[in-house]
Structure formats: C-alpha cells, structure tokens
Structure 1
Amino acid sequence: MITLPSNQIAYLTALRHDLHRQPEVSGAEVETAQRITRELTSLGADRIWQGLGGHGVAAEFTGRAPGPTVLLRCELDGLPIREINDIPHASQIDGKGHLCGHDGHMCSILGVAMRLASRPAKGRVILLFQPAEETGAGAQAVIEDPQWPQIRPDYAFAYHNVPGRPLGEIGLRSGPANCASRGMQILLTGKSSHAAAPEDGLSPGPAMAALMTALPALSHGTIADADFTLATLTHANLGEPAFGIAPADGELRVTLRTMTNDGMDALLDTALHKVAEAQGDLVTDIHWHDVFRGVVNDADATDIARHVAHDLGHAVNEMPTPMRWSEDFGRIGDDGAKATMLYVGAGTDMPQLHNPDYDFPDALLPVVIDQFTGIVDRILGLPDT
C-alpha cells in the first residue's frame, strides 16, 4: 500500500482549512455538499449521488471484478457554537464552527478517494458524506432515501477523532461502542395569576421542581456497567421574566443516555412514569429530539480494522468500555451492514469536542487515510501504484 505523497496531503490540509472557515450546521450543508461533489468529480468517481437524506453526497469507485460493497462514512455538518480560536482558518460564520472535526473527517475520506484512482481489484467502494449527524437525523434520512438501495453496503466503516488520546492511536471495540441517547422536552401549562394572589392560578413550578430532582435521579452506574443510565438536565424555563406574574408555563429539557437500545426503551418507560407522577395533568406535551440509536460494532468488521492497524504499525487501544457520547452511524449497522466505528486519538493535549477552541489536528489526516485505505485493501484489494 502506498501512502499519499506530500503534495496531496498539503492539498487536503488546505481544503480542510477552507471547509473550517465556512461551517454549515445540520440540515443546511448546501455549499459544503457542492464543494465535496466537485472534489469527487475531479477525482474521477464512477458515480455520484446527491441530495441523500437532505444534502448528503455519495461516490462510487467500482472494482475490476464483482465483489462486496464497502462504505466509508464521514459527516458534512458543523455546530452552532462560536469559535474562539485565533488561527488563520478560523470560522468566518459567527456562531457556527467545525468544532467536532467533521472538516477533517471529510478530508480523510477524500484522501482515500485519491488512492482509489486505480480502483479496487473487486467489488466497489462507496464514500458517503452524510448530513445532519449532530442532530441524529442524518443517517436515518439517508437510509430512508429512495437512492439508498443503490448504495446499501455489505461492510461499513467510520471514525471519530478523540481528544485526550495519543495522536493517531486507533481505538477499537466490538459490541456496544457508543451510547443511545435522546433529548426529552417536557412542556407544562397551568394558569397565570397576579403574583399577589398565586393561589388563584396554577403554577407548574412544583411539578418542575419535582422533575428536576426525579429525572436526574434515574442516573445509575458508570459506563462500565451494562445497565448504565444517565439523565442530564440541560434546560429549565418557568414563566415570564417578571415579578408581578405567577407563572403559567414551564419547560424542561433532559438528555437520556444508556449503553444499549433496550436500556433506552426501559429508561423511557421509567422517565414517562416519573412525569406522570409529578402532577402530570399539567404536562401538555412531550417532544423527542436528537434521537441516537446505540452503535454496536460488528466483530468481523472490527477485526478487519484491527489487522490493518497492526499491519501499519499504529498504536491500538482495545477499549474496555463504550463512548458515552452518541453517534448516528449505528443506523447503518442496524440496516444490515457489518459496521464498525473507529476512535482515533487526536492528541492528549487537545481541547474537548464541541469546545469553542477545538480544531482538528492536521497531522491526523495521513494516519486515517492509511488506515481506511488499508481496510479497503484488505477486503477488496488495491494495486500498489
């Protein structure tokens, strides 16, 4: 296997900086998708799909003989977070930033596209640039797209960079790998009154106070426990910002998190029971947001990634526990592919994901390109030149 030459790595680095300057949030990745499409076209993809599940883009590189389909997925979207980095390629869009590294993920997969110019020996490679990963909606929208049956893979691989781990270390885990999670928005409606006569109204305050205690108390164990649950209160709003009005309306937002999808089903039942107990007649609506299924890594696909990492001399972290954060890549595994997520170290001194001073480390590009090219080579075969 041949590593990309320095001029191509330099090109990808410059492209990464361009993407970083112009982040687009989930569902609005119009210009990003157009730029990716131009790059894939210039790299000679045999076929390109556009508008997948919104603004998603996929490219096919067809092998010289029949064989399985290998999909490599990355993400298009940035975050609604203001970047504070003082760097030449800092975000030029106020209040938005590539503060999770999806700009680097895209350029890693484009680097694999450069290596696919000579085509695999068999099968085909699909490079998927997925929209709306940050909201948990993108992968499901792609799978529900009428174009998906033309793309559906036998194997699927993705990665996320992981600050706090050594740069270039390949994290691997079979089985549960990313938690299931969802946002629970609880709306309460009572009756307002003069603040001097609160007894003539019906305040949702007591119900909210009870839920602000009861729901976080559903948290149990640590990520090392199979029955791990975490309920995090993220927002609360009661009444109007005034002193003369006893409140009528309230809102709570809680993020629910479990290791498994079955665990999430059980946690939902318990959370709904707690809501009903806390003066549930005031609860007028419950909405669900950012719904992520758990990622369950396939053992065979993980073993392929492991062999490649060892062959390339990458440090390997056999992860004893799943990641607490969520990833919608699990939807692709649910759809039938042998799928696995890799967790690639971004450096021990890196700011955390979603921090306003995070920036994807460019030194990670060649590591990931080699790893994912090696995966394609192991399954489908690639010429040395």
Structure 2
Amino acid sequence: MFLTDEEFSVIKAFRRELHRHPEISGKEAQTALRVEEALGLTGPDGIVTGIGGHGLAAVFEGTEPGPTVLIRAELDGLPIEEISDAAHRSAIPGRGHLCGHDGHMAILMAVAKGLGQMRPARGRAILMFQPAEENGAGAAAVLADPKFAALTPDLSLSLHNFPGVRLGHVLLNEGPVNCASRGMKIVLKGKTSHASYPEQGIAPTFAMARLLGDLTSLGNNGPLGPDYSLVTVTHARLGEPAFGISPGEAQIWATLRTLTDEAMTALVSRAEELVRTEADTGHLQVEISYEDVFHQCYNSAEAVAELRRALDDEGVSHDATSRMLPMKASEDFGLFRTVAPAAMFFLGAGEGHPRLHNPDYDFPDELIAIGSGVFMRAIRNILG
C-alpha cells in the first residue's frame, strides 16, 4: 500500500463523515466544501472550484511535460431514506449515500494524499469531483464549463463499486459497459367538463390508457446487444382526485433505455411519433420533455489497457472479459470519452452485499485501499 494504516484510517473517517451528510444532485455545496478542505491538506498545485455547479478538481503537476490523466469521482447522494444502525448513518432525513459515491470520493482523497507525498514525474494528474451524476446532468455541465478547458485530459479513468461481485474483484471490459437512458415526460392536454357530461370536454383518458401499453411495447428487453431497448413507465397521473370532474390533463413518465446512443435516437423518434399520433387522434395538445439524460458509457481500448496493466501490477483479480458487462444501468461518465479515451472499472463490493440504491446499502471501507491503489499505479505507470 502507498499509504500507512493510520493514513487510511483518516481517509475512512473522512468517508464516514461524508456518509453522514449526503446531498442530492445539484445541491452538493457542503460536500464540495468538505472535499476542498480535505484536498487542501494534501498539498495540490491547485484546486479549481465551481466546475459544472459544485464540482471541483485538484491538480498535481509533474516536473516535466507530459500527458494529463484525469480520475473522476462523484459528489452526490440520493433522495432515499437510509435504514441503518451504523453510527455513521445519514443524519439528513430522506437522503442517503446509497450508491457509494462517498467511497469513491474517499478513494480519490487517498490518491490525493499519495500524490501530495510524491508528485508525478511528468504531465499532470487531475482528481475530478463531479456533481450531479445521479440525474445525468453533471458530466455534461462539467465538460461545458469554460473552466474545464484548462483541465482537458488525455486519458480519463473512473470506477464504480459493484455489489453482487466478490469483494475486491474487478470487472473490466472494452466497449459498451452502461446503457444510454433518458426520462421522457409526456403531458396530454384536453378540456375538463362536468363528470355527468364528459362529452362536453376533451378527456385524455383513452389516449393515456393506450399509450401506457404501446410505449412499453416499443422496447424488446432482449439481450444487451445493438438492438436492445426497454421502455419502463414509471409514473402516470390522470386529472384531479375528484369525482365531479372529467379530466382535462394526463401525464406519463417513462424511462427509455438502449445500449447505444444511436439506438436511443431511433427509440426517441418512435416514441415521439407514437405520442403525437395518439394526441392528434384524440384532439389533444401534447408537450414532450426529457430529464435524467444519460449517454452510453463506452470503455476505450487505450484506457482499458492502462487499467489492466495497473490491476496486474497491483495483483487485483479481474476477468479477461466479464459476462456481467455491459449492464442495463446508466452512468454519465461516458461523456468524458468525447474529449479523450476513457474507461471505468467495476470493483466488487461483496456477493451478498446490499445492492446499489437499497436503503441499507453502505460502501465497504476495504475498497478504499484497493481502488486508490489501482489509480495510483495507473498514474505512476503513465506519468512516472
């Protein structure tokens, strides 16, 4: 290990402090301040704040020119009530670090400690703490921020813990690893009337009923290949909760999911055509909007090669090719591949460990040393 047991104990305590104070996407102001304060103690050459919202990055410079390697973690928690007896359980009602982003931040803090003790020989190592991963807005906001231009990497790396895989074992594949997805919000508008005279209004009732089935039928939920698609209706509302009013408005929320961005474009087109046709038939106005937009996450060959070299050097077990990848879940790290080769690896959190977004999930502290060791080795291999 590149840090002492005592140093890792400090990082573990930092992780648990983050766990007690989760903040949801776009609201991570206090989390960013805690990270900035802790980063300052590691002695970086610079800290850039306010990137894409509450994001921040620590920069560690080498003495010679060379490439820039970026390692990314996430700041945000989830709007889920934590169920736990742990002393470090969430102190904020209805909020929890139930995806492990507190652990990912702790891993980067350990890397910062190591880089502060020994700078890279050349180039730059950038530790990026990204906001708003859970709603898909963070990576796009970071990349669009003018401050990011001075931090543009030549290679980007990240990880995510993965319950259901034995503790410390790594899944790493080249190619697609996470699906594209987006939330489609449909509003159908007609005209209310008295419930005794529904013919005097324009109710979206039948259009909504047909769309609930027809939208779902657009997806095949088949094998995770280029043609994979899934449409999941997540919310629906018709009219007001009253017996005397024939409804004049309906809402349908649906999550569209594909393996590739190209397939997503086609699925969106089909879904919108279906909705607009149904609205025209029912003489309804329609509004369509999108939230929680995630692009596909694709691991570049160059980045995968560097991660495999680091895993081998660190003696961390990993599959040559994992049948558990790609996965249906989405991850906004994929956008970093639009500026440089990028790859994410998945670090086993234990076969019987509570799953991500479960109310009893907690990040295994044992992964801090493993994850940070892999990243440190990759930085040393590339930058010396």
TM range (shorter): over 0.9
Deviation at 1:65, TM superposition (A): 1.0
Contact 1:221/1:227 (CA < 8 Å) preserved in 2? no
Aligned to 2:358: 355
The 5-angstrom pairing of residues 96-245 of structure 1 reads 96-117=95-116, 118-245=118-245
Deviation at 1:278, TM superposition (A): 1.7
TM-score scaled to structure 1, two decimals? 0.96
Q: Distance in 2 between matches of 1:171 and 1:218?
A: 31
Aligned to 1:18: 17
Structure 1: runs of 5+ lacking an equivalent: none
Moved more, 370-379 or 313-322: 313-322
Aligned to 1:367: 370
Identical residues among aligned pairs (%): 48
Deviation at 1:307, TM superposition (A): 1.7
1:197-254: CA deviation from partner (whole Å, max 9, x where unpaired): 2122211111111110011111114343221001110000001111121111110000
Q: Does 1:345 align with 2:348?
A: yes
Aligned to 2:332: 328
Q: 1:299 to 1:283 in 2, by over 3 A?
A: farther
Q: 1:329 to 1:72 in 2, by over 3 A?
A: same
1:324-358: CA deviation from partner (whole Å, max 9, x where unpaired): 111111111112x1100111111111111111111
Q: Does 1:274 align with 2:278?
A: no
Aligned to 1:309: 311
Contact 2:179/2:297 (CA < 8 Å) preserved in 1? yes
Q: Distance in 2 between matches of 1:224 and 1:248?
A: 39
Deviation at 1:52, TM superposition (A): 0.3
1:299 corresponds, among 297, 301, 308, to 301
Aligned to 1:246: 246
- SS of residue in 1 equivalent to 2:291: strand
Q: Distance in 2 between matches of 1:214 and 1:152?
A: 43
Moved more, 163-172 or 189-198: 189-198
Q: Distance in 1 between matches of 2:312 and 2:265?
A: 38
Moved more, 205-214 or 271-280: 271-280
Q: Does 1:37 align with 2:36?
A: yes
Aligned to 1:6: 5
Give the AA of the match of 2:367: L
Deviation at 1:86, TM superposition (A): 1.6
- SS of residue in 2 equivalent to 1:181: strand
Q: 1:223 to 1:11 in 2, by over 3 A?
A: farther
Q: Distance in 2 between matches of 1:189 and 1:143?
A: 37
Q: Distance in 2 between matches of 1:101 and 1:222?
A: 29
Q: Distance in 1 between matches of 2:222 and 2:373?
A: 34
The 5-angstrom pairing of residues 13-92 of structure 1 reads 13-92=12-91
Q: Distance in 1 between matches of 2:346 and 2:89?
A: 25
Q: 1:283 to 1:353 in 2, by over 3 A?
A: farther
- SS of residue in 2 equivalent to 1:68: strand
1:33-87: CA deviation from partner (whole Å, max 9, x where unpaired): 0111111111000011000010101010001211100000000011111111121
Aligned to 1:93: 92
Q: Distance in 1 between matches of 2:370 and 2:351?
A: 16
Structure 2: runs of 5+ lacking an equivalent: none
Moved more, 34-43 or 315-324: 315-324
Deviation at 1:3, TM superposition (A): 2.9
Q: Distance in 2 between matches of 1:325 and 1:242?
A: 38
1:128-175: CA deviation from partner (whole Å, max 9, x where unpaired): 000111111111111111111110000000111111111111111111
Q: Distance in 2 between matches of 1:275 and 1:85?
A: 43
Q: 1:380 to 1:80 in 2, by over 3 A?
A: same
Deviation at 1:314, TM superposition (A): 1.3
Q: Distance in 2 between matches of 1:39 and 1:46?
A: 14
Aligned to 1:285: 287
Deviation at 1:301, TM superposition (A): 0.7
